[in-house]
Amino acid sequence: MNRLFFLPKSEHMCYTILIHDLLKGGSTMLRGQKVAFRASKADLERLRACNRESARVWNECLRLAKEHFLQHGRWISKSELQKQTKGRFHLHSQSIQAVCHQYLFARQSAQAAIQKGHRHVRYPYKPKTFFNTKWAKDGFTIHENGKITLSMGIHGGKREKPIIVYVSQLPQGTIKEIECCYDHGWYLAITYDNGQEAKAYQPGHAVGVDLGEIHTIGAFCENGQSLIITGRKVRSLHRLRNKKLAEIQRRQSKCQKGSRQWKKYERAKQYVLSKSERQLRDATPRFVSSTASFANAIC
């Protein structure tokens, strides 16, 4: 059975994924890291255009899936979806496939939730204006000086000029995927393999963790020892965020939707959400570090 865990790291905004490899009989460890980068103004505009084009791929996936379901009474398959989107968009072929895979994953997750009785869950339906563009292993090239070339594929029989970005510090390991994201600033979400293998499970040496609001982390070891971390700071950040959002939404409700003032309040909401997310991301690794020390000490 596949096992999936997420563990933030204090030095960088990282997460750890342990994926069970059935073919090798072991586990490989993948990490994700958000990295800032530099690029020319023209390449930044091209990245923005890529995210618009990825949104067009997502919207097309929604349309194709709906039409296929209405005509045949069943969901469109992975191969058929990739076949109908291949070569139709101004992106690398693997970038187009990545959007299709994200749609299929969202659809399968919604189906699993509905089968468990969560009737409020909906299948993917909402069109997007921007969508993160992803480059897989054959879609980018890493150079020694931190230069990364992002391939745009072949269009009209000619290979298009790649997008060039510069990163000051790359993660140590084999880079698997690069995703271009924007959240009040551009950054790259890099997934890489650090070469470490996950340790096999040993009875009596495992800790279960439960995340909460009042008690941020509750950990319980198989030998009977436990740890509870009270996260008042995280709770205060949540309360401040909710108070700010309530104030902005109260003022926004008095404006006509789509007006200049309404758009100003909408940008203010996005700023508050982004800032609180960064604050929470900064506070969470400290609790995780304490939990990891507890697990290493007793197990």
Res 3: pLDDT: 37
Q: Which of 166, 180, 165, 176 is nearest to 134 (CA)?
A: 180
Q: Which of 48, 49, 103 is nearest to 75 (CA)?
A: 103
Res 14: pLDDT: 43
- Which of the pair, 287 or 164, is modelled with greater confidence? 164
Res 299: pLDDT: 63
Report CA Rg, the chain. Answer: 22
Largest CA distance in the chain: 65
Res 231: pLDDT: 77
> For 184, left (φ over 0), alpha (ψ -120 to 50), or beta?
left
Res 108: pLDDT: 94
pLDDT band at 27 (very low <50, low <70, confident <90, very high): low
In the chain, what percentage of residues exceed pLDDT 70? 90
- Of 115-119, 142-146, 206-210, the one with minimum mean pLDDT is 206-210
- Which of the pair, 173 or 107, is modelled with greater confidence? 107
Check pLDDT > 70 for residue 7.
Answer: no
Q: HEC profile for the chain?
A: CCCCCCCCECCCCEEEEEEEECCCCEEEEEEEEEECCECCHHHHHHHHHHHHHHHHHHHHHHHHHHHHHHHHCCCCCHHHHHHHHCCCCCCCHHHHHHHHHHHHHHHHHHHHHHHCCCCCCCCCCCCCCCCCEEECCCCEEECCCCEEEECCCEECCEECCCEEEECCCCCCCEEEEEEEEECCCEEEEEEEEEEEECCCCCCCCCEEEEECCCEEEEEEECCCCEEEEECHHHHHHHHHHHHHHHHHHHHHCCCCCCCHHHHHHHHHHHHHHHHHHHHHHHHHHHHHHHHHHHHHHHC
- Of 89-93, 107-111, 154-158, the one with minimum mean pLDDT is 154-158
The whole-number average pLDDT for the span 199-218 is 77
Could you give the CA distance from residue 104 to residue 154 in angstroms, rounded to a whole number? 25
Mean residue pLDDT of the chain comes to: 84
Q: Which of 79-93, 145-159, 209-223 has the highest mean pLDDT?
A: 79-93
In the chain, what percentage of residues exceed pLDDT 90? 51
Q: What is the pTM of this model?
A: 0.72
The whole-number average pLDDT for the span 262-269 is 94
- Of 15-19, 181-185, 291-295, the one with minimum mean pLDDT is 15-19
pLDDT band at 242 (very low <50, low <70, confident <90, very high): very high
